[in-house]
Amino acid sequence: MALIEQGIAIAVIISISMKQSWVLYAGNTNKNGFKVLIAAEYSGVKIELVKNFEMGISNKTPEFLKMNPIGKVPVLQTPDGPIFESNAIARYGENKLRIPYSAYENFTHLKADNPLFGSSLIDYAHVEQWIDFATLEIDTNILRWFIPRIGFSVYLPPAEEATIAALKRALGALNTYLASNTYLVGHSATLADIILTCNLTLGFTRIMTKSFTSDFPHVERYFWTMVNLPNFRKILGDVKQAESVPPVQSAKKPSQAQEPAKPKATVEPKKVANNEVKKEAPKPKAEPAAEEEVAPKPKPKNPLDLLPPSKMILDEWKRLYSNTKTNFREVAIKGFWDMYDPEGYSLWFCDYKYNEENTVSYVTLNKVSGFLQRMDLARKYAFGKMLVIGSGPPFKVKGLWLFRGQQIPQFVIDECYDMELYEWQKVDITDEAQKERVNQMIEDHEPFEGEALLDSKCFK
């Protein structure tokens, strides 16, 4: 994390300094170095990147260790001296920015000269907000997914599964925001866009394949737009998306120096009567013990997999739903109730708590799409229908969900933050009115509860 913070803080400093010359010590493929160089392009600052910098060699030289005794990159050589470590760099940046809020006109003037921080105090706060998001939600999870796969830390399948879920959650939230925004802050690129794009570059080029990112179309559009802006393209070059996820490699172990062989102790032969030496029969050589193979720990089972078997096969219902094109109520709805197992599954209505906020149709639809993307972790155990209702704003969002078990799965509540945005009610299938409401939601009946349907979405 120190390297990430260093890259961000250095970029902050550069975007403020408009006329001075700087020297950057980093490899020419270092994404934290990219942040610095792109910020410099926007700020008109001349940056000299040290040539032929090689990690493991250049950062171990006495000259480099004078600038940074722990040998980490990037290091920025400024007119005031070198800077390393995130806290020191951040303090240096604060001194450059330390303007009292009462001097708002001066602050705004500074921003006008330096668009990387937006054009107002609230823009500056939003830039900082998205930098934190890019670091803590995007970069952290990409690295936690990528690093174990290339052998630089221990690979644990349950940890990878949790990391991918967290990354999908972050990308889903970003996708929803970008559905109605070209840039993160305002109407032009800021430092937040530089940080986020460089972080995404590692993911897109090394581990996030097209099949993975296609679930986040607005993130894709944003990323390819940014990397093709002139100042980005000048530094990043031609960016190509990864075609496959790297195979898991064994964790790299530090080489151990071989200990010199110890001299064998001299054993004097035993003497017996008549001063003869007794020759002992040679002992049979022990067979070398075969190395015990440590069996990998079994992947922990989802609690829903431990429930008693159900007569309802969820995939069969999903196929019936998808393949029924005509006579939907007679075929699909009847088939659903024939399959439904009230002991193994439960039905739930959900109603969005803040419908008064749904004043823009496409924003409301994107909000629902983001929710369904973040529910991906439950695909094996759930089926859902989400309806956006109304011919004009505010639009109402209502849903029907089928879950394995008698309660909403706890891992869904824990991982999908959208759950708390809805009121949840368990369906009483002995109530004919509730049962008919289930039927209408499954078949997209219109009008629904007296109102037109703007759209419906299915999770299957």
Based on the domain organization, do 85 and 136 belong to the same domain?
A: no
Based on the domain organization, do 33 and 141 belong to the same domain?
A: no
Residue 424 sits at φ, ψ, to 5 deg, of -115, 135
- Do the beta carbons of residue 342 and residue 418 sit within 8 Å? no
Q: What is the CATH number for 356?
A: 3.30.70.1010
Based on the domain organization, do 451 and 323 belong to the same domain?
A: yes
Most confident of the ranges 5-9, 155-159, 280-284, 401-405: 401-405
| Whole-number Å distance between alpha carbons of 93 and 102 | 20
Assigned domain for 454 exists: yes
Residue among 183, 184, 146, 190 at smallest CA distance from 164: 146
- SS3 state at 433: helix
Q: What is the CATH number for 135?
A: 1.20.1050.10
Q: What is the mean pLDDT of the chain?
A: 80
Q: What is the pLDDT of residue 423?
A: 94
Question: Locate tokens 């032969």: which residue?
Answer: 269
| Whole-number Å distance between alpha carbons of 53 and 38 | 19
DSSP bridge pairs for 77: 23, 82
Domain count, the chain: 3
The answer on pLDDT for 57 being more than 80 is yes
Q: Where does the pLDDT of residue 260 fall: very low under 50, low under 70, confident under 90, or very high at 90 and above? A: very low
Assigned domain for 284 exists: no
| pLDDT tens for each residue of 378-389 | 999 999 999 999
pLDDT higher at 283 or 456: 456
Give the predicted TM-score (pTM) of the model: 0.48
Residues 335-372: b if buried by 16+ CB within 10 A, e if exposed? ebeebbeeebbbbbbbebeebeebeeeeebbbbbbbbb
| pLDDT tens for each residue of 422-455 | 999 999 999 999 999 999 999 999 999 999 999 9
Q: What is the CATH number for 78?
A: 3.40.30.10
Whether the CA torsion 187, 199, 208, 52 is positive or negative: it is positive
The answer on pLDDT for 352 being more than 60 is yes
Based on the domain organization, do 80 and 200 belong to the same domain?
A: no
Q: What is the pLDDT of residue 111?
A: 36
Q: Which helix (H) or strand (E) holds 82?
A: strand 81-83
| Residue at which a domain ends, from 176, 207, 236 | 236
Based on the domain organization, do 40 and 173 belong to the same domain?
A: no
**Which domain range does residue 393 map to?**
309-459
Strands lying side by side in the sheet with 21-25? 46-49, 21-25, 75-78, 81-83
Assigned domain for 282 exists: no
